[in-house]
Amino acid sequence: MDQRELEAHLRAGEGISTEYKRCSNKPDRDFFETVCSFANRQGGNILLGVEDDGTVVGVARNATRDIKRSIAKTLNNPQVFRPAPLVEMEDVNYDDRVIIRVWVPMGPAVYSYKGTVYDRLADADVKIAGVDQLSLMYLRKQNTFSERRIYPYVGMGDLRPDLIARMRQMAVARRPDHDWGSLNDATMLRSAKLYAKDRTTGEEGFTLAAILLLGDDDVIGDVCPAYKTDAICRMSDTDRYDDRLVVRTNLIEAYDLLSDFARKHLPDKFVLDGDQRKSARDIIVRELVSNLLIHREFMSPFPAKLIIDAGGIRTENASRALYEGRITLSDFNPMPKNPTIADVFANIGRAEELGSGMRNLDKFSRLYSGRVATLVDGDIFRASVPVERTAAGSGQDAVLALVASIIERDGSLTTSELAKVGDVSIRTAQRWIKSLRDSGQLDVRLNDARQYVLRDTGDDTDAT
């Protein structure tokens, strides 16, 4: 690291992978807590000789060797660290001062310091005490996808033939020349990587992905007892719930059940995407439910949730994330959580390419409510989309939203254009316009060019 790179770290401040520490003759306890948390999370830089506010005070030049020797000795003491994390250390000159940069890479194991496991959350080192938190960390450290786990004693009789047939039909309906259309069941499942062989042990059989996608409910419960999705609508009864659905069945039917539940309790709103009229609600539900079912850690005891309340719709599910924090389009780097399940969902038309879901959520959340979707990754992945129920309802509200969308795009509106975009007759479009005029919310009037424009009732200025 040179001075320019150091200055960039100082400008960015402390965070999930950067920490500042004062240091005299040897590092304090909190330095080693940070080493432990970095090794357990995504790695990072510890800058010895920097104040919490980013002021560089440096360390004594004649003490750098002894400080690094003390660090190495502590890290390799089995009474202190289990196992010993790897680090790299270097001196970095900053004007007339010197700091010690300690780079801690993410390690393959779960590390403890003096019997305590630490994790990194934002700019803090957090003690991990609960069994659930610890199990999530072990899952994150796995170097294989749990969906690839092989169950040699699960046979074709444990999978539902009707679901196998439906999987084939959906793929062919989406693409008539799909390979699955001409393959028998066993070959199709191998093609979809739902039947696999462990090249290390020689073990082969159906995978967890196959069981979750196509398995009988009893089989799913036997191999994955923690698997369930809890859908809750909490509008009137905020202490309990107005409606609830607990889903423990296969992922294909779970998608249908959860999507129907969400659509039942969310207002519909049609918007214009280019020249096409689309249901923003349906697209948002599709993306949230697909993500909830595809990109989750199924071996975690944390139950997945879909919650609808006055603020909107949100989901929560266990994840194996290296990154902790809010995800934005500018820094989004999609990583597959369950690539086999994701590929099957893509083939049957329930998902698109990796990363498209976030772009769709961002786009249609703005069209749906005028606000952005929020996605936060970590051991628990959270996604939420706000809902403006007064502006996104059915009936006249939906018509008003459609009219406003067309005028926002074109500057004005004709009856024939409303009929075309709304896929209705001219007479129905005329009735919609009359209804909007009679409602008093907006005044829809004819200008000299015989085009409709929108104007607030309390303002004489056209708002086109």
pLDDT in tens, 84-125: 999 999 999 998 899 999 999 888 889 999 999 999 887 899
Average pLDDT over residues 298-313: 89
Strand ranges, E, within 255-338:
270-273, 276-279, 304-309, 312-318, 325-327
SS3 content of the chain, % helix, strand, coil (to 5): 40, 25, 35
Does residue 433 sit in helix, strand or coil? Answer: helix
- The pLDDT assigned to 246 comes to 96
- Bridge partners, 317 (sequence order): 381
Sheet of 81-82, strand order:
81-82, 112-113, 116-121, 124-128
Determine contact, residues 81/71, Cβ cutoff 8 Å. no
Domains of the chain: 3-129 (3.30.950.30), 146-223 (no CATH), 229-386 (3.30.565.60), 396-456 (1.10.10.10)
Instruction: Report pLDDT digits (tens) over 186-228.
Output: 999 999 999 998 887 889 999 999 999 999 999 999 999 889 9
Q: Tell me the C-alpha distance between 128 and 300, whole Å.
A: 16
Determine contact, residues 125/36, Cβ cutoff 8 Å. yes
Cα angle 213, 156, 181; round to 5: 65
The CA distances from residue 342 to 107, 224, 339, 352, 355, in Å, are 27, 18, 5, 9, 11
Determine contact, residues 44/35, Cβ cutoff 8 Å. no
- The pLDDT assigned to 277 comes to 79
Distance, C-alpha 307 to centroid of its chain = 15
Instruction: Report pLDDT digits (tens) over 388-420.
Output: 664 334 455 566 667 777 776 776 777 787 777
Determine contact, residues 387/267, Cβ cutoff 8 Å. yes
Q: Is it the case that residue 382 has pLDDT exceeding 60? A: yes
Of 267 and 191, the structure prediction assigns the larger pLDDT to 191
